[in-house]
């Protein structure tokens, strides 16, 4: 099969998935300098691919999907036609297989452009979250699934164990650091089954503050900002980042930190992308589903041994016991001890 010269790569959501994709695409661009990779994603996610400088054969286009020009079926076809005209791809890598990307893929195929599509491992996912006869075997990591799509198209893609950390100057960090070990905390997520109880996370914050760490709290909207602000008022060296930095600013700040505490959320993947060590907390979901932070030490992934875990791939299913014991059974000191150990402060 002839290797493609121009590859259109599509993935519009979700934020964490696009951050994982960025690590793969950047590696593929470096390893295949003769190919030109053209990423089309949601507007605002471009920074994942461009942070710290992108390879010369990688281009990224952010699309505002709220723009009426790209909504509905005619809008998706318009987007497909624009991609074909602008990039002139000879292959497409569909990294999502969503309705939008399937329509784009069909349009390009009708134009004679071949495509490869991601394998979502659906049957194995069902076995992993089954209530009975659960199969607790790790699925292929999502970064390898992304790489498989590009390999199908003929590219050589070898993923490393870690991403090299490069610090980027963060004025926000300079203004708020005391020079102590710096810890990021991203305690929020979209779904309840992925959120460590707020009162228990406050105990983690308190312990790290009393241990002499600078703490930067990430993520969330107005409700979460109120919680983070209360923590900042209650404990020394705690700063809320929420609503104060754009995506590029948050990534620059993360690159200055020593450790990140995150739920199974986009924050762990963004932190991984800048090479930051992450202590992740898992409730209804499980790293075996393939969504652990890229290059992260499995020993830093904390979860309870409840036999019902995982009950959800994405955390969007309600706890069928109604207890969320998988989160409540994790002691705050377990998280704090892990962080302090990684900082060499235990």
Q: How far apart are CA 48 and CA 70, in angstroms?
A: 22
In order of 242, 273, 289, the CA distances from 49 in angstroms are: 23, 9, 24
Structure confidence at residue 269 (pLDDT): 97
Strands (E), 64-125: 91-94, 114-117
Q: How far apart are CA 175 and CA 288, in angstroms?
A: 39
Phi-psi region of 219 (alpha: psi -120 to 50; beta: other; left: phi over 0): left
Phi, psi (deg, nearest 5) at residue 27: -65, -40
Residue-wise pLDDT for 105-163, tens only, equals: 999 999 999 999 999 999 999 999 999 999 999 999 999 999 999 999 999 999 987 67
DSSP-derived pairing of the beta strands 91-94 and 6-10: parallel
DSSP-derived pairing of the beta strands 36-42 and 214-217: unpaired
What average pLDDT does this structure show over 190-214? 97
- In sequence order, what are the residues at sequence separation of 6 or more whose Cβ sits closer than 8 angstroms to the Cβ of residue 4? 35, 89, 90, 91, 114, 153, 154
Superfamily the domain 171-342 falls into: Glycogen Phosphorylase B; (3.40.50.2000)
CATH fold of the domain at 6-152: Rossmann fold (3.40.50)
What pLDDT band is residue 220 in, cutting at 50, 70 and 90?
confident
What average pLDDT does this structure show over 259-267? 98
In order of 26, 116, 165, 232, 243, the CA distances from 98 in angstroms are: 23, 13, 32, 40, 30
CATH 3.40.50.2000 residue ranges of the chain are: 6-152, 171-342
Q: How far apart are CA 7 and CA 2, in angstroms?
A: 13
Structure confidence at residue 160 (pLDDT): 83
What average pLDDT does this structure show over 190-196? 96
Q: How far apart are CA 71 and CA 57, in angstroms?
A: 29
Structure confidence at residue 1 (pLDDT): 61
Mean pLDDT over the full length of the chain = 96
Torsion of CA 318, 320, 323, 324, to 10 degrees: -50
Structure confidence at residue 279 (pLDDT): 98
């Amino acid at each position: 099969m002839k290797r493609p010269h121009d590859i259109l790569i599509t993935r519009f959501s979700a934020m964490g998935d696009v951050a994982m994709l960025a690590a793969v695409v950047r590696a593929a661009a470096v390893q295949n300098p003769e190919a030109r990779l053209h990423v089309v994603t949601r507007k605002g996610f471009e920074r994942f691919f461009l942070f710290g400088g992108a390879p010369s054969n990688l281009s990224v286009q952010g699309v505002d999907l709220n723009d009426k020009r790209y909504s509905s079926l005619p809008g998706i076809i318009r987007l497909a036609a624009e991609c074909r005209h602008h990039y002139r791809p000879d292959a497409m890598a569909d990294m999502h297989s969503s309705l939008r990307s399937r329509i784009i893929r069909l349009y390009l195929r009708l134009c004679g452009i071949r495509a490869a599509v991601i394998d979502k491992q659906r049957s194995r996912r069902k076995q992993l979250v089954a209530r009975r006869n659960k199969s607790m075997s790790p699925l292929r990591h999502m970064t390898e699934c992304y790489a498989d799509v590009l390999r199908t198209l003929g590219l050589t893609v070898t993923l490393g164990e870690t991403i090299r950390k490069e610090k980027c100057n963060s004025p926000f960090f300079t203004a708020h650091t005391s020079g102590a070990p710096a810890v990021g905390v991203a305690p929020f997520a979209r779904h309840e089954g992925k959120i460590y109880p707020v009162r228990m996370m406050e105990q983690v914050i308190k312990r790290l503050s009393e241990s002499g760490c600078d703490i930067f709290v990430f993520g969330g909207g107005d409700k979460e900002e109120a919680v983070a602000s209360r923590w900042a008022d209650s404990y020394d060296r705690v700063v809320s980042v929420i609503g104060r930095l754009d995506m590029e600013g948050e990534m620059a700040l993360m690159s200055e930190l020593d450790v990140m505490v995150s739920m199974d959320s986009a924050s762990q993947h963004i932190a991984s992308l800048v090479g930051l060590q992450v202590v992740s907390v898992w409730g209804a979901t499980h790293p075996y589903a393939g969504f652990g932070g890229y290059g992260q030490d499995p020993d830093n992934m904390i979860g309870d041994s409840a036999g019902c875990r995982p009950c959800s791939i994405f955390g969007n299913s309600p706890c069928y016991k109604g207890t969320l014991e998988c989160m409540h059974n994790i002691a705050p000191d377990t998280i704090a001890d892990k962080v302090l150990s990684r900082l060499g402060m235990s």
